Structure 1
Amino acid sequence: MAREPLSLVVTTLDNAATLARCLDSAAFADDILVLDSGSTDATRAIAEAHGARIERHAFDDYAAQKQRAIALARHDWILLLDADEALTPAAAAIIQRELRAPRAAGYRLPRREQMFWTFQHRRSRINTHLRLFDRRHGGMNAVPVHAAPEVLGRVRTLRAAVFLHFGEPDIATKVRKLNDYSSGLVAHKRARGTRFVRTRMLLYPPLFFLRQYLFKRYFLNGWAGYISAASGAWYVFLKYAKLYEARRDQGGAGDDSGGRA
């Protein structure tokens, strides 16, 4: 039985270190679209060597850039990967089999995270992400930094279709990302009118650490798991600390629950 034609969609900026692995992992795709925002390394040459169609557009926003790439794809079924992600062989086989007779408008895939010098333990809890979907039923949401696809219709999780994220090879890279991401979320949280900011600063970081380290079983990853959970808690703190600072800088009380600190 023939399967639905598939477009692999990847947005890039100086991703020469990881792009070949990403494209190789989904070489079965009928169309490969790479939307580049001005790479100065070998990213475009690598994409060309893998038979990708390369489009260019200056980066303005995570969601807008990915939606632009989705619109440029030749086929309605989209596999959306970041340049530092790659399918496992099992995931590639499952996706091809599923597209012979799709049972949903979108599919969530489990993602194993790189934790510095190791990879997330298979028995720790792995987050799932909507990465395979029919664009006729949806597209990117408008959440800054952590923009993700959303579809109207049934969504299934392909538990065995694990893909890998090679995004945090060392602690310095993770810290840099956490600082950039937390700054990028300030305007969004202000627009949403996030309340009880001081309370969130106090309570969310330790709760987040416990959730990651104990309930998601990051302790199985040894010191890498501990550092990942601790830095994640720091990220939660930074998001609300920066929001508090932004409100105070613009003459507010820092926290719209009342009072000034």
Structure 2
Amino acid sequence: MADKKRLSVVLIARDEAGLLPECLESVAWADEIILLDSGSKDATQDVARSFGVKVFKNTDWPGFGKQRQLAQSHATGDYILMIDADERVTPELRQSIENVMNNPQENTVYSLGRSNLFLGRFMRHSGWYPDRVNRLYPCAFSYNDDLVHESLNIGNAVVVPLQGDLQHLTCRNLFTFQRKQLSYAQAWAEQRHQQGRKCSFFSIISHTLGAFTKTWILRAGFLDGKQGLILAGVNAQYTFNKYAALWALSHQLQK
């Protein structure tokens, strides 16, 4: 059997003092925890240090992808578990991760199934479960440079799904969630505008209607009850904001 690998849990955070304790408690068993603070004005750094976390700071925001890269650069473990302050590792998932540390496979990254909370309900449909994300991986891998909706560069690696959920407290407050979605839409539009991407007015409408239909019907959002219907509307609104912003950016230059 190969030697047990060391695990570094890595987070980026800003003003997450209220959410951090439960998050950190769920990963307290890791070999080390790294937190890169993005300029918190609350007690985020103090809370992290009280759990023995190694805290670093970078207020020159480069986008989510590069911020995760910088956070990972401070880790010393053989494997990285990338999580957020609003996520919790369940006991079953912990066992799966520890099994990997005891018996690692070459050229392999591991996907975690997220269980997403939306207005008091952990969704089971709507495209939100199992919301698999590649979050456990050897330290040789890293995130891409995307400003938002960043992902792990996995190359030709094998992706193995792990048992157990990563609980994600996605939407506890609708207004807070909507503000976050609006900032994501802005970053998405700006990045694609910089890449020379454009969209037509018809694309705004078609993508918006498509987002609602995909969530509510194709992904069985109707089985998630009232929250499923609201989520379908929120996804449609988010999609509208993305494409409308991209359309607006390209037309502003034409004045």
Please report the TM-score for the alignment, with normalisation by the length of structure 1.
0.89
Aligned to 2:146: 143
Unaligned runs of 5+ in 2: none
Q: Secondary structure at the match of 1:161?
A: strand
Unaligned runs of 5+ in 1: 253-261
Once the 2 structures are TM-superposed, how far is the Cα of residue 196 of structure 1 from its aligned partner? 4.0
Q: In 2, distance between residues paired with 1:154 and 1:85?
A: 25
Q: In 2, distance between residues paired with 1:157 and 1:173?
A: 33
Q: Secondary structure at the match of 1:177?
A: helix
1:91 aligned to 2:89?
A: no
Once the 2 structures are TM-superposed, how far is the Cα of residue 117 of structure 1 from its aligned partner? 2.0
Kindly, what percent of the aligned residue pairs are identical?
27
Aligned to 1:18: 19
Q: Find the partner of 2:124 among 121, 124, 129.
A: 121
Question: Is contact 2:66-2:146 (8 Å) kept?
Answer: no
Aligned to 2:135: 131
CA gap 1:199/1:157 in 2 versus in 1, 3 angstroms:
farther
1:5 aligned to 2:6?
A: yes
Q: Secondary structure at the match of 1:29?
A: coil
Question: Is contact 1:79-1:133 (8 Å) kept?
Answer: yes
Residue type of the alignment partner of 2:134: L
Q: In 1, distance between residues paired with 2:125 and 2:101?
A: 26
Q: Find the partner of 1:78 among 64, 77, 80.
A: 80
Once the 2 structures are TM-superposed, how far is the Cα of residue 17 of structure 1 from its aligned partner? 1.3
Aligned to 1:32: 33
Aligned to 1:46: 47
Q: What's the C-alpha RMSD, in Å, of the aligned pairs?
A: 1.9
Question: Is contact 1:133-1:151 (8 Å) kept?
Answer: no
Q: In 1, distance between residues paired with 2:40 and 2:195?
A: 34
Q: Secondary structure at the match of 1:106?
A: strand
Aligned 1:100-111 pairs, distance under 5 A: 100-103=102-105, 104-111=107-114
Residue type of the alignment partner of 1:21: E
Q: In 1, distance between residues paired with 2:98 and 2:204?
A: 44
Question: Is contact 2:4-2:103 (8 Å) kept?
Answer: yes
Q: Find the partner of 2:241 among 235, 238, 247.
A: 238
Deviations 1:29-51 (A, max 9, x none): 10111111222222122211211
Q: Find the partner of 1:68 among 57, 67, 70.
A: 70
Aligned 1:183-222 pairs, distance under 5 A: 183-222=186-225
Q: In 1, distance between residues paired with 2:168 and 2:99?
A: 23
Q: In 1, distance between residues paired with 2:98 and 2:190?
A: 40
Q: In 1, distance between residues paired with 2:60 and 2:231?
A: 29
Deviations 1:208-257 (A, max 9, x none): 212112222222221111111111111111111011111111117xxxxx
Q: In 2, distance between residues paired with 1:196 and 1:145?
A: 19
Q: In 1, distance between residues paired with 2:243 and 2:119?
A: 26
Once the 2 structures are TM-superposed, how far is the Cα of residue 83 of structure 1 from its aligned partner? 1.1
Once the 2 structures are TM-superposed, how far is the Cα of residue 158 of structure 1 from its aligned partner? 2.0
Q: Secondary structure at the match of 1:114?
A: strand
Question: Is contact 1:59-1:65 (8 Å) kept?
Answer: no
Q: Secondary structure at the match of 1:40?
A: coil
Question: Is contact 2:111-2:132 (8 Å) kept?
Answer: yes
Once the 2 structures are TM-superposed, how far is the Cα of residue 122 of structure 1 from its aligned partner? 7.0
Q: In 1, distance between residues paired with 2:108 and 2:33?
A: 21
How many aligned positions are there? 251
CA gap 1:155/1:161 in 2 versus in 1, 3 angstroms:
farther
Residue type of the alignment partner of 1:78: I
Q: In 2, distance between residues paired with 1:214 and 1:59?
A: 42
